[in-house]
Structure 1
């Protein structure tokens, strides 16, 4: 049970509210520590992934994000973040592969749920695009199939998982994998939002740098 104090008998309201407060504080502290752990572990990898993603966007590439359940909502958040960042940030082409219910249900009904993302990448993906898979377990067959399809098509393949990475950690052709080391689905998904927001921010920063091989002359240069 997530909140065992709710089922304890004989507690007064003050005691109950104190237990709620303590539980909330403990969970907030847990996610802060977990986010710090993830960023310390993957700081350099996040920067390297952002460089690869920025290069892809410079070359006209697009980002395809996908996941199941709550991770599908996160995939939509990823797409919205890149397309509509707000402020002076650069809008970047991104799509969540869970958006089209007709396509998802047609593929699930006619072929099988394991192909709902791979078939879309086969139809739309091209070399230079980015595939971003989000999963708490890392074991979803449809995500593994999609990442393999992305690799076959010359796309940048990125995975975000929990626990110990699951099958994602064994998937050939995966360029970057970020694992939240937790067995709590709630904490995993909270930390994963930090990962993809950091990726977005680092990618935006990378895109403000001069393109590789291009020399930009400032005023007065000769």
Structure 2
């Protein structure tokens, strides 16, 4: 009985891996030029002493924090810290803004306060429809920030809101777990590219 259960679980694991690999391959085929465009534009912004703000909910909040940490600390090579800030980590700001203005404004108010012309907003939503991320995107445009939207499925409302100079990287998947797995690979690609563009090895 235990052997049968173990085999069944192993098959489930195999399907997870195979689905993740397929989603990453399909995404690569669709987003490579956009990913390159985002990396070079973000590197240019960082060269000009601009910063990258990041936001998302749940697993996407963790991804926003992960990306900001890779910038301020390091990715895979020693270098100076880069200005990346996750808007998901300040509990006093999140609860004050949420209490006074509603949860939909928790990121937008921070973008208004911290964002400057030429900065970037990394807006992460697996559906592309997260109301507070959409509000952050609107605030970013009002402040003169460019937007990198990480989405999935059909891109949601966020895909229709982007302006010239913005970039969407859409995971070619409909299952949330697969989208999140693709997003982390995209973020690691960006980290690697920023290291290479800003701190090339001799």
Same fold (TM > 0.5): yes
Contact kept, 8 Å, 1:60 with 1:128, in 2: the verdict is no
Where does the alignment leave 5 or more consecutive residues of structure 1 unmatched?
1-11, 210-222
Pick from 30, 41, 44: which aligns with 2:19? Answer: 30
How far 1:91 sits from its partner (Å)? Answer: 2.3
Give the match for residue 141 of structure 1: 131
Residue 74 of structure 1 pairs with residue 63 of structure 2: yes
How far 1:89 sits from its partner (Å)? Answer: 4.2
Residue 197 of structure 1 pairs with residue 197 of structure 2: no
How far 1:181 sits from its partner (Å)? Answer: 2.3
Give the match for residue 64 of structure 1: 53
Q: 1:92 to 1:29 in 2, by over 3 A?
A: same
Residue 17 of structure 1 pairs with residue 11 of structure 2: no
CA-based RMSD of the aligned residues comes to 1.4
Runs of 4+ that moved beyond 2 A = 86-91
Give the match for residue 118 of structure 1: 108
Q: Distance in 2 between matches of 1:111 and 1:44?
A: 38
Residue 96 of structure 1 pairs with residue 86 of structure 2: yes
How far 1:204 sits from its partner (Å)? Answer: 1.9
Residue 207 of structure 1 pairs with residue 198 of structure 2: yes
Where does the alignment leave 5 or more consecutive residues of structure 2 unmatched?
none
Contact kept, 8 Å, 1:62 with 1:129, in 2: the verdict is yes
Contact kept, 8 Å, 1:34 with 1:191, in 2: the verdict is yes
Q: Which stretch of structure 1 is more off in the superposition, 39-48 or 53-62?
A: 39-48
Q: Distance in 1 between matches of 2:162 and 2:119?
A: 18
Give the match for residue 48 of structure 1: 37
Task: Looking at secondary structure, tell me which structure has more helix per residue.
Answer: 2
Q: 1:90 to 1:25 in 2, by over 3 A?
A: farther
Contact kept, 8 Å, 1:161 with 1:180, in 2: the verdict is yes
Contact kept, 8 Å, 2:79 with 2:199, in 1: the verdict is no
SS in 1 for 2:54: strand
Contact kept, 8 Å, 1:90 with 1:204, in 2: the verdict is no
Contact kept, 8 Å, 2:147 with 2:162, in 1: the verdict is no
Residue 154 of structure 1 pairs with residue 144 of structure 2: yes
How far 1:29 sits from its partner (Å)? Answer: 1.2
Taking structure 1 as the reference length, what is the TM-score of the superposition?
0.85
How far 1:151 sits from its partner (Å)? Answer: 1.4
Deviations along 1:144-202, whole A, 9 cap, x unmatched? 11111111211121100111110111114270001112221111111110111111111
